[in-house]
Amino acid sequence: MNKHDEAYHAILEAKYARIIEEMSKMYHITMEEAMDRFYSSDTLQLMEEGVADLHCRSDKYLAEEIWNEKKRGCLHTKDRRQEKNREGIL
């Protein structure tokens, strides 16, 4: 990993921490609950894939998106992978 990659990952990790903290404050949940929701979200997977430069969105916007995933009935990435495995896609 080069220095640019290391810096990019450090910046993302700091962003993740801010999003988790924002969710905890906005929705009056524990940091642990916010972390569970964040790390199991489709939004995190999209951020890691670099989709639509989501990492450029505000922490509050991303916290709301992650919170609303459950309301919209989004499948978590892990569940989606398991589903594709069963279908023989992966």
Instruction: Match 């979200």 to its residue by tokens.
Output: 41
- Round the CA-based radius of gyration of the chain to a whole number and report it: 14
Strand intervals (E) in 1-90:
none
CB atoms within 10 A of CB 38: 21
User: What's the confidence (pLDDT) of residue 90?
Assistant: 47
Question: Per the confidence metrics, is the pTM higher than 0.85?
Answer: no
Q: Using pLDDT thresholds of 50, 70 and 90, give the confidence band for residue 82.
A: low
The reported pLDDT for the residue numbered 83 is: 53
- pLDDT tens, 27-66? 999 999 999 999 999 999 999 888 888 989 999 999 999 9
